[in-house]
């Protein structure tokens, strides 16, 4: 499994430019182009401080060298769960490691899209309706709603080497420092790959869009065959940290038997 990472700065201000990247309006969120990164930011404050450049890691398979092995049961006893803690997990978690109340920064993921980086083909897309259009009886509200996603792909997905995942999210009234996501994928409790992305700083009351580039390690024909034959036994944990403290935990499972 490769541990090489490439970083590129991405700015939140549409008017800013640099020698390495441009956030001019015509370059924002060009999801079907060859651009690997995109972001935009907005703030209700009329005199915001200059935004800090956002940084994302591209195709980074987290290495577990030097990380102590941990279990879900051990982490549940911790007052604070850190990135190093989850990197020590050896299998998918059975339950969430933090509750929705830990999301004190009101981070809300509102849109998600997956595309093949080679062809630009959109493979999956989902968006939340605006808050004023969301319906439902508050008495029946599930606090874990939105924390789990089930994906259905065709077998061809397993042969892709590079996939772009565009996420749109909003944040509340508090600034977010050192926003980081660690995502770990397992098949039958065997770690397939671990990704580590850094969002950096997010200004208060902003909407942000970033594209993470997943560089998948090659899988054996036998492993791919088993993953196709056993849908939803491929699972992932997505851990979100602010200042090295776990504040969100989402889960997903995957089927690669669509159209088979």
| Three-class DSSP category at 23 | coil
Per residue, what are the HEC states of 75-123?
A: HHCCCCCCHHHHHCECCCCCCCCCCHHHCCCCCEEEEEEEEECCCCCEE
**How confident is the model at residue 133, as a pLDDT?**
66
**How confident is the model at residue 136, as a pLDDT?**
59
Taking the whole predicted model, whether its pTM rises above 0.95 is answered as no
Nearest Cα residue to 157 out of 248, 233, 43, 259: 259
**How confident is the model at residue 4, as a pLDDT?**
32
Question: In a structure prediction context, what are the per-residue pLDDT tens digits for the chain, which is 260 residues long?
Answer: 333 333 333 333 333 333 332 222 222 222 222 233 334 444 444 444 444 343 344 445 454 566 899 999 999 999 999 999 999 999 999 999 999 999 999 999 999 999 999 999 999 999 988 766 656 555 555 667 789 999 999 999 999 999 999 999 999 999 998 999 999 999 998 999 999 999 989 999 999 999 999 999 899 999 999 999 999 999 999 999 999 999 999 999 999 998 75
**How confident is the model at residue 250, as a pLDDT?**
97
Residue 131 · residue 142 · CB < 8 Å = no
Q: How far apart are CA 233 and CA 44, in angstroms?
A: 44
Residue 198: count of CB within 10 angstroms of its CB? 16
Q: How far apart are CA 177 and CA 202, in angstroms?
A: 7
Q: How far apart are CA 22 and CA 122, in angstroms?
A: 24
């Amino acid at each position: 499994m490769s541990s090489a990472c490439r970083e590129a700065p991405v700015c939140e201000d549409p008017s800013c430019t640099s020698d390495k990247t441009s956030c001019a309006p015509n370059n924002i969120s060009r999801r079907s182009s060859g651009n690997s990164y995109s972001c935009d930011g907005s703030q209700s404050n009329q005199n915001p401080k200059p935004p800090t450049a956002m940084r994302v890691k591209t195709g980074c398979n987290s290495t577990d060298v030097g990380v102590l092995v941990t279990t879900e049961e051990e982490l549940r006893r911790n007052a604070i769960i850190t990135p190093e803690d989850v990197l020590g997990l050896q299998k998918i978690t059975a339950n969430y490691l933090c509750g929705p109340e830990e999301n004190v920064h009101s981070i809300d993921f509102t849109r998600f899209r997956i595309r093949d980086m080679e062809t630009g083909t959109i493979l999956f897309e989902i968006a939340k309706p605006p808050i004023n259009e969301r319906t439902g009886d508050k008495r029946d509200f599930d606090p874990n709603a939105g924390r789990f996603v089930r994906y259905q792909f065709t077998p061809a997905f397993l042969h892709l080497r590079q996939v772009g995942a565009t996420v749109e999210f909003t944040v509340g009234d508090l600034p977010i420092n050192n926003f980081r996501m660690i995502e770990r994928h397992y098949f039958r409790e065997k770690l397939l790959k671990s990704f580590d992305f850094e969002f950096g700083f997010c200004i208060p009351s902003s909407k942000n869009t970033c594209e993470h580039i997943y560089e998948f390690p090659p899988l054996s024909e036998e492993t791919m065959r088993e993953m196709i034959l056993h849908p939803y036994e491929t699972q992932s944990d997505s851990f979100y940290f602010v200042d090295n403290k776990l504040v969100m935990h989402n889960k997903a499972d995957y089927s690669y038997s669509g159209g088979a």
